[in-house]
Amino acid sequence: MKVHTVVNADEIVPEMVWFSESKKHDHQFLEKLKCDENTIYVFDKGYNDYRAFEHFTNHKAGFVTRIKDNASYIKIEELDINEQIHNGVLKDEIIEIEVKRVRKYRNYD
């Protein structure tokens, strides 16, 4: 079993909690999110869904994720990591993901 949550930083209680089978792919949870331009979504690698990320970008919502090792991307800007921060971050970049166009589309509205 997996537990997916949406937590508003200003609240004590999660806004949404969703349970799924452990074999179900994580990115299916993205369909349950409402895109809000005043939100920054934080995802693990299992949520990689480039169509969803494109949807968030088009709706001016921010997101942060760890990119897959085989992802094709263009580095736009490399950001400095403060030397006083000891959190294991190796690199902080703003990138543009190169997405191959496919015929199958998913609606995230």
What lies within 8 Å, CB to CB, of 37 at 6+ separation is 59, 60, 61
Identify the CA nearest to 65 among candidates 85, 87, 93, 29.
Answer: 93
CA 6 to chain centre: 12
Q: Cα–Cα–Cα angle for 25, 31, 33, nearest 5°?
A: 120
Give yes or no for residue 108 having a pLDDT over 50: no
Q: Give Cα 85 distance to the centre of its chain.
A: 23
pTM above threshold 0.85:
no
pLDDT attached to residue 99 = 65
pLDDT in tens, 30-88: 777 777 777 888 877 777 778 778 888 888 888 888 877 888 888 999 988 887 776 77
